[in-house]
Amino acid sequence: MRNYWDYIKVEELLSLQGGFDNDESKLSNDEVVFIVVHQVYELWFKLILRELETARDLFCQNPVPDMKLANAATSLRRVVALFEQAVPHFRVMETLTTRDYLDFRDRLIPASGFQSAQMREIEILLGLDDNLRIPLGREGSYMAALRSSDGSASPALARVEQRRESGPSFKAVLYEWLARTPIDGPATQESAERFARAFIAGHEKEIENRIRLAKQNALTPDDIARLEQRYRAEIKFAERFLQAEDEEGLDDEARAFRRRLRAAIVFLESYRELPRLAWPREVIDLVIAVEQQMIIWRQRHARMVERVIGRRTGTGGSAGVDYLDQTALRYRIFNDLWAVRTILLRKPSVPLLSHEDEYRFRVED
Ligand code: HEM
Ligand SMILES: N[C@@H](CC(=O)c1ccccc1NC=O)C(=O)O
């Protein structure tokens, strides 16, 4: 019982490409390609979910054990590699010509990628906000689309329901952890807000410099005025962002939380060479990489779809490519991590720290 086939389950695996009628001999090569490519994707998704769950569970702890940050990074790095792997894979699907696909496409209706439970699980586990979801262009929510065509429950629906109830999202626990970062002093609201003020002051310094440069470059007075206005708007953005004034309807506690969170991200990115900030900053960078790959995946899927079926209605009943392009643009999860890029400062303008030593490695302990 220790042979390759006993372990890898080759026979079982090769018996799963029979389509609706479980008879592979009746299927064209094109249709078997269609099935296998989907199956391979579902296997990549399975691995992605395992790693995300591991990372989520690590950040659930308070405090997060320092020694485990490297494990979180390992998991996230693997998720990035898996998505990177999954993107070019659409190339195989593109060998399907429009005409050949149409030979079996109608038999698939109403099945569609809407019913890929694992993709929905990835979105939910990462923390995609349900309010962002784009209407599918048919009755019912994305959950309804997981039901069988007679409206009955399905394994896909059960999977996604179970995922929705299975604890906090990765985003929720990651943000809780970030908001506990000690920012140039103890991990308090005061430290966070003091740092944010000093950071805004750094922006004031930068802007004077930039306006001087604009003037030196002999633009017209109108151009100078326009640029100056633009730079001032950037500072205003930085200020509103750090004070969490860009979001309406937050209660005091939620606003205070967002302030700590955002100050922490700016802090980690601004002093990333300090040894004790290096792992947290690596984690942030990997989360950005995960989201970037996921967006690229959506984009790449949409381009493959456009190539194979043009802009026709999807078998799931959506607008097809238009719908998919909207998801690539609007399904964003870690907006705060991205937004910080817009307001980071050059090293010389970053505030000097009062407690820099606390972020070094200490040989004596
Ligand atoms: C010729 C191949 C393919 C075509 C023409 C195609 C087309 C489409 C279309 C039109 C949609 C929108 C839903 C609808 O109305 O039907 C969709 C959704 C989706 N497809 Fe595909 N697809 C193909 C292959 C794949 C593959 C290989 C995967 C990998 C798992 C995949 C995963 C998904 C997912 C997850 C969605 C849901 C997207 C969302 O709601 O955000 N598709 N696909
Ligand atoms: N939505 C696709 C069909 C499709 O791709 C599909 C159909 C059944 C099972 C999985 C599918 N894959 C992903 O969307 C279409 O409109 O042609």
Q: Which atom of ligand 1 is nearest to the CA of 321?
A: 10
C-alpha to C-alpha distance for 87 and 79, rounded to whole angstroms:
12
> Which tokens belong to 205?
């310094």
Q: What digits encode the pLDDT tens for the residues 134-154?
A: 998 777 799 999 999 899 999
Angle 248-249-254 from CA coordinates, rounded to 5°: 100
Q: Measuring from atom 5 of ligand 2, which residue has the nearest CA?
A: 112
Contact 267, 184 (CB under 8 A): yes
C-alpha to C-alpha distance for 72 and 50, rounded to whole angstroms:
12
> Which tokens belong to 38?
């989907």
pLDDT 10s digit of each residue in the chain, 365 long?
A: 899 999 999 999 999 999 999 999 999 999 999 999 999 999 999 999 999 999 999 999 999 998 899 999 999 999 999 999 999 999 999 999 999 999 999 999 999 999 999 999 999 999 999 999 999 877 779 999 999 989 999 999 999 999 999 999 999 999 999 999 999 999 999 999 999 999 999 998 888 888 888 888 867 888 888 888 988 898 999 999 999 999 889 999 999 999 999 999 999 999 999 999 999 999 999 999 999 999 999 999 999 999 999 999 999 989 999 999 999 999 999 999 999 999 999 999 999 999 999 999 876 55
Q: Measuring from atom 13 of ligand 2, which residue has the nearest CA?
A: 113
Ligand 1 mean position, distance from CA 141 (Å): 17
Phi, psi of 185 (to 5 degrees): 145, -155
Selection from 290, 317, 323, 289 nearest residue 305 by Cα: 323
ipTM of the modeled complex: 0.97
Residues near 339 by Cβ (< 8 Å), separated by ≥ 6? 241, 262
3-state secondary structure of 238: helix
Contact 310, 118 (CB under 8 A): no
